[in-house]
Amino acid sequence: MINIDFLDIAVLAAVTLAIVNAIKKATGDTLGYWYMLISAGVGAALYAIGLYAPDVVIGFIVVGLVASGIYDTYKKT
């Protein structure tokens, strides 16, 4: 049985929201209800990565997301 905590779900939701908002920003609001399917796919992929990937792969993904966020924040100023 898979044991998933509320904190795991919250982190997964926050990362999914950030990725989908980045996609929405890049494409504009032209996809409409397709963002629901995009968010479901991104969430499922992130869940699978978190469940099955080794810790080093998860670390690379987290570092990449953080670096991308820092770059985007720096670029806005």
Q: Which domain holds residue 32?
A: 6-76
Instruction: For residue 1, tell me if it sits in a domain.
Output: no
pTM: 0.58
For 26-66, the pLDDT digits (tens) are 887 777 778 888 888 888 888 888 788 888 887 887 788 77
Instruction: For residue 28, tell me if it sits in a domain.
Output: yes
2: phi then psi, degrees, rounded to nearest 5: -85, 130
Instruction: For residue 59, tell me if it sits in a domain.
Output: yes
Domain count for the chain, please give it: 1
Burial class of residue 61 (count of CB atoms within 10 Å of its CB; 0-12, 13-18, 19+): middle
Rounded CA-CA distance 29/76 in Å is 20
Instruction: For residue 31, tell me if it sits in a domain.
Output: yes
